[in-house]
Amino acid sequence: MSQTLLAPKVKVNQKWQLWINGKFEDGASERTLFSPATGKELCKVSEASREQVEKAIKAARKAFDEGPWPKLTAAERAQFLFKLADKIDEKASELAELETINGGKPLRESQYDIADSANCFRYYAGLITKPSGQAVNVPAPSFSTVVREPIGVCGQIVPWNYPLLMAAWKLAPALAAGNTCVLKPSEYTPLTAVYLAKILEELELPQGVVNIVLGDGPTAGQPIAHSNLVDKVAFTGSVKTGKAVAQAALGNLKKVTLELGGKSPMVVFSDFDVDTAVDYALFAIFCNAGQVCSAGSRFIVEESIYDTFVSKFVARAKKIRVGPGLDSETEMGPLVSETQMKRVLEYIQIGQKEGAKLELGGEQLKGGKYGEGYFVNPTIFSNVKPNMRIVQEEIFGPVAVVQKFKGESEAIKLANDTPYGLAGAVFTSDVTRAYNVIKAIKAGITWINGYHNTYVECPWGGYKQSGWGRELGTFGLDAYTEIKQINLNLDPQPIGWFE
């Protein structure tokens, strides 16, 4: 592969600070970030102390209770969000480069993510001005309405795999509804969140409406989930951490939205074109190096085409061009961190010890263009059993397992045989079978003859241990509102209930 590395337009080695109450400030400590593509030091970022996180929460509380943002009309908030979307588009090249440099993904993926982030703000800017609530027909002389109001202070903890997009998914509906926010990006990929703060400052967002604190979970995330001044917490990440967030939120019974892990199935029937199914399978698992909560990581293939599918899947996966994200020919980048790389390699060893057949990959790529980066080549296991850890547990890397089934009922059983229920897909030319199987799969995000297409207009979330609640669509806006009934007596007269 030719090394056509792009020259970044954005300077990474600059000051990356917290943004609290409309002002940038240094954190109590610093963290060194490392480039996923090289393994070398990338830059240093400030990290908040617990006291600084509490300061950010108090700023958001004051901004909600006393500030102008919740009192603005829907049209005024929408106008701001439209301007924010335009500014993200204007800065798209810098933001995309930051995503790639910080997180490792190919630049073409980052460019899609930034465009989607802007579109998310535009969607909620448009949605908030549309009619909502209800007028209820009750006996005269009463008149009753149901309205939606902002919840209050929203704590938002986002992961490292889609840093700006996940922030947009949470900030856009929260701000549209009139809430104030404390956002904690991942400690691994905080750069685009700080860049976003600079945009918000430029647009003169009122003080305290959005606060961005950097740091790890115990120091920066736990205080957000625990604080009695926070009215809602939204978290995207692992099941283990999600349970801890939910437990911390019990103190004041704050509203909780959790988008957690997945071990999503892609069921392939023999009546579907194998080459097309393989093409979608590659996209399902190797997009963003498998670091996608909804990744198709289990391929459940009908017995009569199983060997053909595996053979073609391996042959195509071998051709994937792995390399640095800024290389124009790269199709799959590195994993986000050394920690994540070691986790993925450990799971590959576990799969081999469990007796699965390693058809492809399973190695760290080193030297040459890979340097000391966190690269793992596309990995495929066959001859797996349902109880194997590589089948049951989320790996979050470029590791696929291919299972075999004989009939429709077995396919459904295998598809549902994990603790997760985030996403799933079925590939078949029989539309009746497609609908029956997709209805039977216990997952919140599903596709028929497709994978990974995501729309801001549609709800995002899962069944079982894949989380609570939904993001995106009208459901995402509803999740940032409280429901209130208002009863008006149009003709108040003495009741005479008591003499």
Distance separating alpha carbons of residues 416 and 402, to the nearest angstrom:
15
Torsion angles phi and psi, residue 169, rounded to 5: -55, -30
The residues, any chain, with a CB within 8 Å of residue 89's CB and separated by 6 or more, are 115, 118
Place of tokens 């003169």: 204
Torsion angles phi and psi, residue 201, rounded to 5: -65, -45
The tokens for 292 are: 């996608």
- Name the active-site residue from 99, 187, 259, 471: 259
Distance separating alpha carbons of residues 286 and 396, to the nearest angstrom:
10
Residues 268/198, Cβ–Cβ less than 8 Å:
no
The conformation of residue 217, written as its DSSP 8-state character, comes to I
The tokens for 205 are: 């967002």
The residues, any chain, with a CB within 8 Å of residue 472's CB and separated by 6 or more, are 120, 169, 455, 456, 457, 458, 459, 460
Annotation says 293 is catalytic: yes
Distance separating alpha carbons of residues 146 and 484, to the nearest angstrom:
6
Place of tokens 């800017």: 125
Annotation says 259 is catalytic: yes
Distance separating alpha carbons of residues 5 and 171, to the nearest angstrom:
33
**CA neighbor of 172 nearest in space, from 469, 480, 445, 461:** 480
- Name the active-site residue from 293, 302, 331, 408: 293
- Catalytic annotation, residues: 259, 293
